[in-house]
Structure 1
Amino acid sequence: MIEKKSNSAMDLETEIIPTKMKHKTERRRSSIFSLLQKKLKRQASEPGYFEPKKLNRKYSVDSAILSDYGKTNGVYKEFLLETCSDGVSVCNGELAGAASDSDSEASRGMNPPREDVSARKQDVIARIESCYVEDPDRDTGAQGELVEEVAEENKSLLWFLLKQVRPGMDLSKVVLPTFILEPRSFLDKLSDNYYHADILSQAQHQEDPYLRFKSVLRWYLSGLYRKPKGLKKPYNPVLGETFRCCWRHRDTDSRTYYLAEQVSHHPPVSAFYVSNRKEGYVIEGSLLARSKFYGNSTSAILEGCARVHLLPWGETYVTTAPYAHCKGIVIGTLSMELGGKVHVVCPDTGYHADVEFKLRSFLGGSDQTNAISGRIKKGKDTIATIEGYWDGKIDIKDKRTGEESNLLDVAILKEQRMTRYLMKIDSQHEYESQRLWIKVSEAIANDDQVAATEQKTIIEEAQRSRARNLAAPWEPRLFHKELHVQPPDGIIDQGWRYNHVNTSPWATDEQLEFEEDFVISSVRGSGHARAPDRPDARGLSNRASDSDSRDELAKRSSKTTRTLKQTLFSIDTALRDHTHAIERLQKTVETLNEGQHRVSAMRPQNMGRLPTTNHTWDLLGGFVLAIVLQALLNWLFYHKD
C-alpha cells in the first residue's frame, strides 16, 4: 500500500510540476505583455505622438509574445495593430525596431526644431566653402603620343640616372632628376580618375544590370585621358603623407570627397577612399607602386585594385589599373604610353570586362598609339566588344544585335569635366601633399632645378631620419589593413580600408555629407553630424542605423541565399565524388575477395580450408566509409562562408 501511495504521489507531482511551470511562464509573459500594453497606451494617449511627421523610431514586441497571445487572445493583437496603425511599421504581425523610455522622450521633445537642422547645414556649407578653393590647374593634355624633348643641359642628368640602374632592378630607391618630375604627389595624381564621378550617379538609375555595368566601365575609362605636359613623373609620397580634395556636382549640388594616405613606404603603398553616398557610390582601394628598368625602357606598375560600391543596388565592382611604359631613355625619342590588361569585375551580377592597352610596335604607325580593345562577358559568353583609343573615342558593339554605338568621346567629356576643389594651404596639416612639397613645386615652376633638387633632398632626408627613429611599427592615421580580403581570381588586393568607411545607402534623414579633418560624415535630421564608427581589429563595421536595417537585411538575405546555393552545390558535388570513391573501393574489395576464393580453391584438400576473410574486409570497408563520412561532416560544419 505504501509503495502504491508513493507511486501515485510521484505521478501526481509529475503532472502538477509541468502545469505549474506552464502557468508560471504564462503569468510571466502576461506581466511582460501587460507592461508593454500600458506603455503603448500611455504613449498613444499623448497628443500628436503618433503623427507621421513626428515619428522617428520604430517599435517592436517580442515575436514569441505575438505568436502565443495572437492565437489565444485576439484582443491583445488587435489592440497592438490598432495602436500602431498611425505610423508604426508592422511586418508579418511584428513591429520593427525597439525603443526605450528615453528614446520616446527624445522622439517627442528632445529633437531640435527644423530651423536648427537648417542652421547646422548652412554652417557646414559655409565651413566647406571657406576651406576649399577651386583648383586653378585645368590642363588635361593633348590627344596622341606623350613625348618629352630633353634639353641639352639635362642629358647629363639622364646619364647620371643610368649609372644608378641596371636591367631588371626596381627603381623605387633611385634618385630621379627633378626635370622629369610633375609638380604634384602621386596621391594627387590618383584623383584624376574621379573628374567624371557623376557617371556613377547616372548608373544608379539603370534598372538593367548590364546597363549599370556599361556605365561603370564608361566611368573607369573616363579617368585616363589627363596628361601632364611632356613626360613627367609625380613625387613619391613619404610615409604618412595625406591628400584630400572634392568635386562639386552641378546638377545635384552634392560633393564627391577624395582622401588618400601613404600607408607604407617599403613597399610603397597608397590607400584612398572616395565617397558621395547621396549620389549612391563609395570607392575604396589601395595600390602598390613598383617600377622595372629594362635598358632602354622602364615600366611603372600598380599592383592592387579599387572597389566601387553602388549603394542602392548592393553591388561591388572591382577594377585594376594599367601600367605606364616609358621608352627611348637611351636611344630614340623619350615617350610614354599605357599598357597591360585591366579587369572590371562585378561578382554580384556576373558581368566582367577585360580591356587590353596596346603598346605601339617598333614599326607601328600613329593608328596604334593609345589603342585599346576588350570584351564584356557574362560567365563565358561574350556580350559586347570595345575598340578605340583611351584618349580619344571608344566604341562598343553588341554581339547579340550587332549594334555599334559610342561608349565615350574624350572631346565631349572634357566639356563635362567637374571642377575640383583643394584645401587651402594654410588649412592643411604638415604632411598634406601640397604643403609638404610646396617649395619643390615652386622651384620646378620657376625652372630652378638646383633649388628643386635641394628641397627634394631635404624632404627625403627627413623621411629617412624619421624612419630610423621609429620605436614601433608605423600606424597609418586614416586606414587599417584587413587580413582576410578575398578579391576575385587573378586580382591582387593590398587590403587597406578606410577607418570610417560607410557603405550604407543614403538615409532619408541625412541632409548633407561633408569632410572634416579627414573624416567623412553627414548632417542628419536630428541636427547632429554622424560619422560611422571605426571597424574593430577584424575589419568589421558596427551595425548601421535603424533606417538602413531593412536594406542591410535584404542585402544580407541575398548574399545568404547565394551562399546557401553554392554550399548545396558543393555538398552535392562532394557526395557524388565520395560515392564514386566508395564504389571503386567496394569493387576493389570484391576483386580481392574473388582472388582469395580462387586461391583457396586451388589448394590441396588435405591442407584444409583457409579461414574466410569476408568479415575482415567488411571491417576494412566500414572503417574507410567512416573516415569518408567524418571528412564530409568536417567539411560541411567547419568550412562554411
Structure 2
Amino acid sequence: MDLSKVVLPTFILEPRSFLDKLSDNYYHADILAQARSLDDPYLRFKCVLRWYLSGLYRKPKGLKKPYNPVLGEVFRCYWKNRDDDTRTYYVAEQVSHHPPVSAFYVSNRQDGYVIEGSLLARSKFYGTSTSAILEGCARVHLLQWDETYITTAPYAHCKGIVIGTLSMELGGKVHIMCIETGYQAEVEFKLRSFLGSADQTNAISGRIKKGKETVASVEGYWDGKIDIKDKKTGEETNLLDVAILKEQRMTRYLMRLDYQQEYESQRLWMKVSEAIQNNDQVAATEEKTIVEEAQRSRARNLVAPWVPRFFHKDFHLQPPEGLVEQGWRYNHVNTSPWQPDEELEYEDSFVISSLRALAAGSPVESRARDPPRDLAPVLTDSDSRDEHARPKTTTRTLKQTLYSIDTTLRDHTNAIEKLTRTVESLSEGHRQAVAYRPQNVGRMPTTTHSWDLFGGFVLAIVLQAILNWLFYQKD
C-alpha cells in the first residue's frame, strides 16, 4: 500500500510538517533576484538552474520523515534578503488528503520573482528500500522578463530499512524548462549502486539545451560542488558550492505560536514535536494519534466536498508534454511586475498583497513600515551531517590512506612487542630474586604475595593504557 496511508512510528519522524519541509527550497530564493539585471536569456536560465540546485542540500541528520499534513493544514513564513531588505513570503496549504496534495505560493515581486506549484506525495516500497515521489511541478515567474520556468522534483530514495544502514539519496531525472526562451535542462540524480564507490554518492549530471542543441553540461554533487562546462569553448566554471551557500543563507521568520491560527502546522503539531524533542516516544505517539483521529472525525462529518481556503483548482494549467501538473493555484496570485507606486509587499492572514504609496504621515503607512512583532527568526530544521563539500575519493587517495593505516598499525605492533619483552624480562628477574631469597624470614611469604598482587595490578593498568591509546589513535 502507499506509505502515505501508513501510520509510522514517531522515532522516524522529523518534528515538522511536510508543508514546512517544502519551504527548504527557498532559503536561497534571493539568487533569483540576480536575474533582473541579466539581459542574456542564457545567463538568466543558469541563474534559475543555480537557484533550483541550491534548495536540495538541506536534510535532517539521519533518516527522518516529516508529518503527513492533515486536510486544511496551512503554513507560512518569510525570509529577509540581506542585500536589499526585501522579503520573500511563503504560504502553503494541504488542499487534498486522499490523494495527499500540497499547494504552495512564494512571492517577492519587489525583487522580481513569484513561484507557484502543487505536488502529490506518494511512496513506493521495494522490500528493503522505499522511494518518496513528488508528482507535479512548480512555475518560476521572472516578472520583469515575462518568463516562466517549469521545474519538476527528484524523488527521495531510502535504503537500509530492513538490513544495513539507513540512508537517503535523491534520484530520478528532473526538468527545468522555459518555453519563452527555448532553454531547457535535464538533470539526473544518480543513486549509488550496490558495489559503487564513494564517488557515486549524491552525484548529478545533466545538459542544458537550446531547442535540440546541447549548450553546456553539468556535473557535480547536489550536496557539494557543481560545475558547468560550455560545449563551444570548453570552459568549465563553478555553478555553486554548498560550503559557500551555507554562509549566504537567508534567515527565516515564523509567526509566534500565540498568533497562529488553529490549523497552522507548528501549532497543530506542537505537542507531538515537543515530545519528539524530549525523546518521549510514548507521549509523541499519543499526541500524534489525537491529531490523526481528529482529522478522521472531521472527514467523516463532511457533508460537502472540502473547499481549500487559499488555493483553487485551475483546469486551464497545461504542462509540457511528459510532465504532470496538479493544477492548484493561489487565490491571490499576482505575477505582474513591481510598479513604481508600490511601497512594499506584505502577508496578512495568508493573503500576500502590496501596499500602494500613501500620503506622508498616514497611520496606515506608519503601521505598514513597522517591523512585524509577531514574527521571529527561528531554526526549526537542520542540515546534513556533511558540513563541507565532500572531496572526490580516487583509487590513488584510497591506496595512500590504506598504506598510512598499515604503517601506523605496524609501528604500534612493534612498540607493543618491545614493551611485552621488557615486561617479561622484568618478571623473569623478579622470579629469580624470589628463588634465591632466604626462606627463614618469618614474614617473607606475605611480602612476596603482596608484591605479586601489586605488580600484576600495575601491569594491568599499563596494558589497559596502551590499548586505550592504540585504539584512540586508530579512530
State the TM-score, normalizing by the size of structure 1.
0.56
For residues 126 and 266 of structure 2, the distance between their equivalents in structure 1, rounded to whole angstroms, comes to 32
Of 439, 459, 466 in structure 1, the residue corresponding to residue 271 of structure 2 is 439
- Per the TM alignment, residue 293 of structure 1 is displaced from its structure 2 partner at its CA by 0.7
Q: Residue 172 of structure 1: SS of its match in structure 2?
A: helix
Q: Which residue in 1 is equivalent to 2:32?
A: 200
The amino acid across from 1:238 in the alignment is V
Q: Which residue in 1 is equivalent to 2:425?
A: none
Of 239, 250, 254 in structure 2, the residue corresponding to residue 407 of structure 1 is 239
Of 175, 178, 184 in structure 1, the residue corresponding to residue 7 of structure 2 is 175
The 5 A counterparts of 1:473-622 are 473-526=305-358
Q: Indicate whether 1:294 and 2:294 are aligned.
A: no
Q: Residue 111 of structure 2: SS of its match in structure 1?
A: coil
The amino acid across from 1:170 in the alignment is D
The 5 A counterparts of 1:299-314 are 299-314=131-146
1:230-257 residue CA offsets vs partner (Å, 9 max, x unmatched): 1100000000000000000111111000
1:378-400 residue CA offsets vs partner (Å, 9 max, x unmatched): 11100000000000000000001
Q: Which residue in 1 is equivalent to 2:388?
A: none
1:4-31 residue CA offsets vs partner (Å, 9 max, x unmatched): xxxxxxxxxxxxxxxxxxxxxxxxxxxx
Q: Which residue in 1 is equivalent to 2:370?
A: none
Q: Indicate whether 1:390 and 2:217 are aligned.
A: no
The amino acid across from 1:377 in the alignment is K
Q: Which residue in 2 is equivalent to 1:369?
A: 201
Q: Which residue in 1 is equivalent to 2:158?
A: 326
The amino acid across from 1:213 in the alignment is F
For residues 185 and 280 of structure 2, the distance between their equivalents in structure 1, rounded to whole angstroms, comes to 45
Which fold has the larger relative contact order, with Cα–Cα distance below 8 Å and residues 6 or more apart in sequence? Answer: 2
Of 450, 453, 458 in structure 1, the residue corresponding to residue 282 of structure 2 is 450
For residues 505 and 484 of structure 1, the distance between their equivalents in structure 2, rounded to whole angstroms, comes to 22
Q: Which residue in 2 is equivalent to 1:278?
A: 110
Q: Residue 373 of structure 1: SS of its match in structure 2?
A: strand
For residues 403 and 377 of structure 1, the distance between their equivalents in structure 2, rounded to whole angstroms, comes to 16
Q: Which residue in 1 is equivalent to 2:473?
A: none
For residues 203 and 225 of structure 1, the distance between their equivalents in structure 2, rounded to whole angstroms, comes to 22
- Per the TM alignment, residue 465 of structure 1 is displaced from its structure 2 partner at its CA by 0.4
1:246-293 residue CA offsets vs partner (Å, 9 max, x unmatched): 000111111000000000000000000000000000000000000011
Moved over 2 A (4+): 526-530
- Per the TM alignment, residue 526 of structure 1 is displaced from its structure 2 partner at its CA by 3.7
The amino acid across from 2:25 in the alignment is N
Q: Which residue in 1 is equivalent to 2:377?
A: none
- Per the TM alignment, residue 444 of structure 1 is displaced from its structure 2 partner at its CA by 0.2
The amino acid across from 1:177 in the alignment is P
- Per the TM alignment, residue 490 of structure 1 is displaced from its structure 2 partner at its CA by 1.1
Q: Which residue in 2 is equivalent to 1:235?
A: 67
1:535-557 residue CA offsets vs partner (Å, 9 max, x unmatched): xxxxxxxxxxxxxxxxxxxxxxx
Structure 2 unaligned segments of length 5 or more: list them.
366-475
Q: Residue 110 of structure 2: SS of its match in structure 1?
A: coil
- Per the TM alignment, residue 491 of structure 1 is displaced from its structure 2 partner at its CA by 1.0
Identity %: 82
1:501-553 residue CA offsets vs partner (Å, 9 max, x unmatched): 000000000001000011111111146999xxxxxxxxxxxxxxxxxxxxxxx
- Per the TM alignment, residue 488 of structure 1 is displaced from its structure 2 partner at its CA by 1.1
1:101-141 residue CA offsets vs partner (Å, 9 max, x unmatched): xxxxxxxxxxxxxxxxxxxxxxxxxxxxxxxxxxxxxxxxx
- Per the TM alignment, residue 334 of structure 1 is displaced from its structure 2 partner at its CA by 1.3
Larger Rg: 1
Q: Which residue in 2 is equivalent to 1:425?
A: 257
Q: Indicate whether 1:345 and 2:149 are aligned.
A: no
For residues 173 and 228 of structure 1, the distance between their equivalents in structure 2, rounded to whole angstroms, comes to 22
For residues 327 and 500 of structure 1, the distance between their equivalents in structure 2, rounded to whole angstroms, comes to 41
For residues 512 and 482 of structure 1, the distance between their equivalents in structure 2, rounded to whole angstroms, comes to 28
Of 93, 102, 123 in structure 2, the residue corresponding to residue 261 of structure 1 is 93
Q: Residue 324 of structure 1: SS of its match in structure 2?
A: strand
Q: Residue 332 of structure 1: SS of its match in structure 2?
A: coil
1:587-640 residue CA offsets vs partner (Å, 9 max, x unmatched): xxxxxxxxxxxxxxxxxxxxxxxxxxxxxxxxxxxxxxxxxxxxxxxxxxxxxx
For residues 409 and 308 of structure 1, the distance between their equivalents in structure 2, rounded to whole angstroms, comes to 22
| Structure with a larger share of its residues in helix | 1
For residues 258 and 83 of structure 2, the distance between their equivalents in structure 1, rounded to whole angstroms, comes to 30
The amino acid across from 2:282 in the alignment is V
For residues 248 and 174 of structure 1, the distance between their equivalents in structure 2, rounded to whole angstroms, comes to 37
Q: Which residue in 1 is equivalent to 2:430?
A: none
Of 206, 210, 214 in structure 1, the residue corresponding to residue 46 of structure 2 is 214
The 5 A counterparts of 1:158-169 are 169=1
- Per the TM alignment, residue 376 of structure 1 is displaced from its structure 2 partner at its CA by 0.2
For residues 239 and 170 of structure 1, the distance between their equivalents in structure 2, rounded to whole angstroms, comes to 18
Q: Which residue in 2 is equivalent to 1:244?
A: 76
- Per the TM alignment, residue 216 of structure 1 is displaced from its structure 2 partner at its CA by 0.1
For residues 268 and 358 of structure 1, the distance between their equivalents in structure 2, rounded to whole angstroms, comes to 27
Q: Residue 308 of structure 2: SS of its match in structure 1?
A: coil
Structure 1 unaligned segments of length 5 or more: list them.
1-168, 531-641
Cα-Cα RMSD: 1.1
For residues 431 and 259 of structure 1, the distance between their equivalents in structure 2, rounded to whole angstroms, comes to 13
For residues 278 and 251 of structure 1, the distance between their equivalents in structure 2, rounded to whole angstroms, comes to 13
The amino acid across from 2:246 in the alignment is K
Q: Which residue in 2 is equivalent to 1:21?
A: none
Question: Contact conserved, 2:19 with 2:93, CA < 8 A, in 1?
Answer: yes
For residues 163 and 288 of structure 2, the distance between their equivalents in structure 1, rounded to whole angstroms, comes to 28
- Per the TM alignment, residue 368 of structure 1 is displaced from its structure 2 partner at its CA by 0.6
For residues 387 and 483 of structure 1, the distance between their equivalents in structure 2, rounded to whole angstroms, comes to 37
Q: Indicate whether 1:335 and 2:167 are aligned.
A: yes
Q: Indicate whether 1:469 and 2:301 are aligned.
A: yes
Q: What is the aligned residue count?
A: 362
Q: Residue 376 of structure 1: SS of its match in structure 2?
A: strand
- Per the TM alignment, residue 200 of structure 1 is displaced from its structure 2 partner at its CA by 0.1
For residues 11 and 196 of structure 2, the distance between their equivalents in structure 1, rounded to whole angstroms, comes to 29
